[in-house]
């Protein structure tokens, strides 16, 4: 079994205001997942999962699948726009970070069958239970 690829990265959260802010994200890929799914874990515990091909194609041209839109921004940046019932989050990544991550995923899955003929997987959004924050006003449990 091949090890899961995890890479800690920084993205810039784009807001309506004049300032952006850096946020830590986790890029993750499990070579055992035959759907070729990559995950972007956000600091609030949200995990977005979608086909690796969406990021790969987004490096070159705008692409949209379900609630995720990806497009290049100049020669050095990539925009990832995530839509949910909570609203829209827009992140700006350094392309070189994603190219390095995607190269690692391709190298890890080189021995497995190709993606040819596979139907792209729809994006999904989940919350990682181990990183959820308590409700506002809730007191932490003491054990």
Percent of all residues in the chain with a pLDDT value above 90, rounded to a whole number: 58
Please give the pLDDT value at position 20.
Answer: 86
Residue 8: alpha-carbon gap to chain centroid: 11
What pTM value is reported for the model?
0.76
Q: How far apart are the first and last CA of the chain?
A: 38
The pLDDT of residue 115 is above 70? no
Token pair for 68: 């995720």
Mean pLDDT over residues 114-143, rounded? Answer: 55
Separation of alpha carbons 85 and 94, rounded Å: 27
DSSP E strand stretches across 3-134? 5-14, 21-29, 37-41, 46-51, 63-65, 68-73, 77-84, 87-94, 124-127
The pLDDT of residue 119 is above 90? no
Please give the pLDDT value at position 114.
Answer: 53
């Amino acid at each position: 079994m091949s090890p899961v690829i995890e890479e800690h990265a920084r993205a810039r959260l784009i807001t309506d205001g004049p300032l952006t802010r850096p946020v830590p994200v986790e890029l993750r890929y499990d070579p055992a997942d035959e759907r070729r799914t990559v995950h972007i874990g956000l600091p609030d515990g949200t995990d977005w999962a979608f086909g690796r091909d969406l990021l790969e194609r987004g490096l070159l041209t705008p692409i949209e699948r379900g609630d995720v839109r990806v497009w290049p921004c100049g020669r050095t940046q990539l925009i990832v726009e995530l839509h949910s019932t909570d609203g829209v989050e827009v992140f700006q990544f350094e392309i070189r970070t994603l190219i390095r991550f995607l190269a690692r995923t391709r190298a890890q899955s080189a021995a497995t069958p190709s993606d040819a003929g596979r139907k792209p997987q729809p994006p999904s959004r989940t919350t990682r239970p181990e990183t959820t924050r308590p409700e506002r006003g809730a007191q932490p449990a003491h054990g």
